[in-house]
């Protein structure tokens, strides 16, 4: 596995590879890999001639009071894990390379960036869309892989690609959970033992929603209410949102049916966790 640091060297490599007819798969990450990341890398390695993983804790997607500075980092361990997952190139630019002095260009997927996670994190998806467009231009992938834990992110990136005519296929991949159900996240490392235990209520609430739907419940309000009750039984949990929306348009869904995204964001202390399910047909 090769490590490439500068955008210019990465783009030169990618351009040459594409000119030789080799397909590139890209897995954009902020590092501190867990099984969710590795599942994306393996999927890319299986489908493409070359797999690039970018490791960049993107400052433009963090708000002023968020966890940019303490976001967990372990590049050496990440390199070992990526190598094992079949990654060919690790792209590790610095902030200064990605956003040099005088940087001033931003991409917004309007309306969709202001909903769900965008309410609490108003600049988040602008930063995500911008850095993903940059990474697509630098790495010139044929396919790019994103985990469905960030369902809104997947939708926004897919929309940006479609709207800006970017020549890349977005592959949304299944959310990966811990054995007890908690959605895997690099941020789980922030949780105290008690928070880690109570955080389980998020996935439990989503599985409960799934059971209610299987039993015939169609009222989105009833489902959201039951989820809220379950999560609020933990005194450590502070709900940011519980929403039911169409998974293709983000339009609010009053009736739960196949294709509806049930998404939750919950704070445990300063740590904000998200999780979701999409109602199956």
CA distances from 228 to 45, 62, 63, 79 (A): 40, 27, 26, 39
Instruction: Name every residue whose Cβ is closer than 8 Å to that of residue 64 and which is 6 or more positions away in sequence.
Output: none
- Which C-beta is closer to a copy of itself: that of 130 or that of 276? 130
Nearest to 264 by CA among 243, 250, 278: 243
Q: How far is the CB of 249 from a copy of itself (least distance, A)?
A: 8
The conformational region for residue 181 under phi > 0 = left, psi -120 to 50 = alpha, else beta, is left
- Which C-beta is closer to a copy of itself: that of 140 or that of 170? 140
Q: How far is the CB of 111 from a copy of itself (least distance, A)?
A: 6
Asked about 37 being catalytic, the answer comes back as: yes
- Which C-beta is closer to a copy of itself: that of 82 or that of 160? 160
CB 24 within 8 A of CB 90: no
Q: How far is the CB of 18 from a copy of itself (least distance, A)?
A: 8
The one catalytic residue in 34, 37, 65, 230 is 37
- Which C-beta is closer to a copy of itself: that of 70 or that of 104? 104
- Binding-site ranges for a copy of itself (CB under 8 A): 7, 11, 15, 18-19, 21, 102-112, 129-130, 133-134, 137-138, 140, 159-160, 163-167, 249
CB 39 within 8 A of CB 173: yes
Nearest to 66 by CA among 273, 275, 270: 270
Q: What tokens appear for 153 in the block?
A: 């992110």
- Known catalytic residues are 37
């Amino acid at each position: 596995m090769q490590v490439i640091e500068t955008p210019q060297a990465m783009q030169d490599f990618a351009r040459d590879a594409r000119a030789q007819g080799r397909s590139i798969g890209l897995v954009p990450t902020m590092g501190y890999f867990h099984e969710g990341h590795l599942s994306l890398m393996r999927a890319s390695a299986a489908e493409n001639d070359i797999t690039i993983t970018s490791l960049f804790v993107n400052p433009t997607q963090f708000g002023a009071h968020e966890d940019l500075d303490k976001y967990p980092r372990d590049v050496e361990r990440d390199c070992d894990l990526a190598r094992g997952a079949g990654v060919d190139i690790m792209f590790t630019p610095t902030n200064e390379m990605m956003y040099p002095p005088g940087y001033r260009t931003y991409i917004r997927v309007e309306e969709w960036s202001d909903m769900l996670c965008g309410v609490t994190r108003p600049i988040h998806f602008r930063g995500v869309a911008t850095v993903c467009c940059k990474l697509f231009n630098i790495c010139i992938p044929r396919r790019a892989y994103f985990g469905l834990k960030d369902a809104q992110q997947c939708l926004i990136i897919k929309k940006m690609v479609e709207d800006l005519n970017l020549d890349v296929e977005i592959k949304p991949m299944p959310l990966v959970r811990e054995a007890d159900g908690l959605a895997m996240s690099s941020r789980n490392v922030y949780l105290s033992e008690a928070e880690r235990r109570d955080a389980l209520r998020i996935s439990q609430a989503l599985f409960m929603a799934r059971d209610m739907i299987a039993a015939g419940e169609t009222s989105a309000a009833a489902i959201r209410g039951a989820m809220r009750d379950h999560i609020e039984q933990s005194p450590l949990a502070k709900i940011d949102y519980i929403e039911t929306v169409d998974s293709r348009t983000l339009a609010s869904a009053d009736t739960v049916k196949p294709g509806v995204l049930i998404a939750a964001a919950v704070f445990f202390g300063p740590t904000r966790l998200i999780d979701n399910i999409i109602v199956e047909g």
